[in-house]
Amino acid sequence: MLPLRPSPSLSRRGFLARTSTGLAAAAASRMLPRSLNAAAEPRRIGIVLAGLGNYSTRELLPAIQESQHLKLVGVVTGSADKGVAWAREHGFPERNVWSYADMARMADAPEAELVYVVTPNSLHAEHSIAALRAGKHVICEKPMAISVAECDQMMAAATAANRSLTMGYRLHFDPYHQELIRRAQAGTDGPYLAMSGGFGFTMGRKVWRAERALAGGGPLMDVGIYALHEACLAAQADPVALTARERPKKRPDLFVDVEEALDWTMEFANGARADLFTSYADNMNRFRAEGARGWIELEPAYSYRGLKARTHEGPLTYPVVRQQTLHLDALAVALRQGTPVPAPATLGRRDMVIIEGIYESARTGRRVTLRY
């Protein structure tokens, strides 16, 4: 029986336990010499990439190739030719090239144990549920889906299949973010009561990320989610209420049915606040958390590499890591050992409750109380 969490709500204790377990697993996996790891985990977990776009090709494929506990054993793609090319290049059988409509047939491939869903946001629920029903564990990219109702359906499918459903929240495995989490848990700077920052970039041309049908929303679904997730990590809690405001569009032709930029403020039960921002019209990649005794600031905060951070005591410097490799290896170890999985679906659902609250507040102009 896998450590699935039946309740969609996320207690602080449960969150801390899962986060620290995931981090401990990552640290343990880094500390063990390769030979010992191999002895403890004789067979690699077979992973399937569903969606062979930019993130899969440029970041996840190299991460899997570097991992100690995973092996690419198949792909799900809309292009059979591309799938066959991947099979030849990466040494898995051509029968393990599935189409999206064909995902049920993955049940016939026991070597495929874990499916990584890396398709546009509005397809995450459909593809995750198809993989779970085929008996596979799933790691899903952010955002988990495009509504809380979809998140609930995904979690119900995971429970029914007795399979694990987790999120690709790679920053849990970045050393700068681990330091932020460590300080927050230890109360090094006092509880973080004032948080700020955001994530945005200038979108040059219309892509699926700016279409409601595929993206579910605008920059909030795509990159703003990082800032709200980070604030919850720093606060070590889930927000209880929020207010949000959509900025006037500078390019309404590009952002027809999604927001172009949003500001929002999240309130926590202990009085902490997070003032955050997301945009497809402005560049920002920053997070700051302040407590009574000190502060930490990350900028760039959410990138794959090249993060920088400083505290009131000076700059922090950590080695460059591949976040995704550490994350995937920790997930593989947890799945093998039956221990709590990193970045469980409860976190993805929690973030979707917040996202729905932000859109509701921006639409109505009212303060929204959050219920998980």
Which residues in 114-133 contact ligand NAD (CB under 6 A)?
Answer: 118-121, 123
Q: Does 22 bind ligand NAD (CB under 6 A)?
A: no
Nearest to ligand NAD of 166, 265 (CB atom) = 166
Binding mask 81-120 for ligand NAD (x = CB under 6 A): -------------------------------------xxx
| Sequence-ordered list of residues with C-beta below 8 angstroms from that of 23, at least 6 positions apart, any chain | 172, 173, 178, 181, 342
Phi-psi region of 110 (alpha: psi -120 to 50; beta: other; left: phi over 0): alpha
Phi-psi region of 138 (alpha: psi -120 to 50; beta: other; left: phi over 0): beta
Please, what is the minimum distance in Å from the beta carbon of residue 231 to ligand NAD? 18
Please, what is the minimum distance in Å from the beta carbon of residue 84 to ligand NAD? 15
Interatomic CA distance for residues 136 and 157, integer angstroms: 11
Largest CA distance in the chain: 59
Nearest to ligand NAD of 51, 191 (CB atom) = 51
Nearest to ligand NAD of 155, 272 (CB atom) = 155
Q: Which two tokens stand for residue 262?
A: 């949003």
Q: Does 52 bind ligand NAD (CB under 6 A)?
A: yes
Which of 78, 93, 187, 190 lies at the binding interface for ligand NAD (CB under 6 A)? Answer: 78
Please, what is the minimum distance in Å from the beta carbon of residue 241 to ligand NAD? 26
Interatomic CA distance for residues 72 and 83, integer angstroms: 12
Per-residue burial over 69-97, b if 16 or more Cβ lie within 10 Å, else e, is bbbbbbbbbeeeeebeebbeebebeeebb
Please, what is the minimum distance in Å from the beta carbon of residue 354 to ligand NAD? 16
Residue 280 near residue 203 (C-beta atoms within 8 A): yes
Which of 80, 208, 305, 338 lies at the binding interface for ligand NAD (CB under 6 A)? Answer: 208
Q: Does 172 bind ligand NAD (CB under 6 A)?
A: no
Segment interacting with ligand NAD (CB under 6 A) among 49-57, 105-113, 332-340, 354-362:
49-57
Q: Which two tokens stand for residue 271?
A: 């009085």
Q: Does 216 bind ligand NAD (CB under 6 A)?
A: no
| Amino acid type, 256 | V
Q: Which residue is nearest to ligand NAD (CB)?
A: 53
DSSP for residue 216: S
Which residues in 244-273 contact ligand NAD (CB under 6 A)?
Answer: none
Scan for tokens 């990552």, then name that residue. 26
Segment interacting with ligand NAD (CB under 6 A) among 17-25, 52-60, 286-294, 364-372:
52-60
Which residues in 136-155 contact ligand NAD (CB under 6 A)?
Answer: 141-142
Q: Does 168 bind ligand NAD (CB under 6 A)?
A: yes
DSSP for residue 154: H
Interatomic CA distance for residues 8 and 88, integer angstroms: 41
Alpha-helix runs per DSSP H in the chain: 12-31, 34-40, 54-55, 61-66, 80-90, 124-133, 148-161, 175-186, 212-215, 219, 225-235, 323-337, 345-364
Q: Which two tokens stand for residue 1?
A: 């029986």
Nearest to ligand NAD of 196, 323 (CB atom) = 323
Per-residue burial over 188-206, b if 16 or more Cβ lie within 10 Å, else e, is bbebbbebbbbbbbebeee
Please, what is the minimum distance in Å from the beta carbon of residue 13 to ligand NAD? 27
Segment interacting with ligand NAD (CB under 6 A) among 12-20, 47-55, 195-203, 358-366:
47-55
Q: Does 51 bind ligand NAD (CB under 6 A)?
A: yes
Residues that bind ligand NAD (CB under 6 A): 51-56, 78, 118-121, 123, 141-142, 168, 170, 208, 214, 222
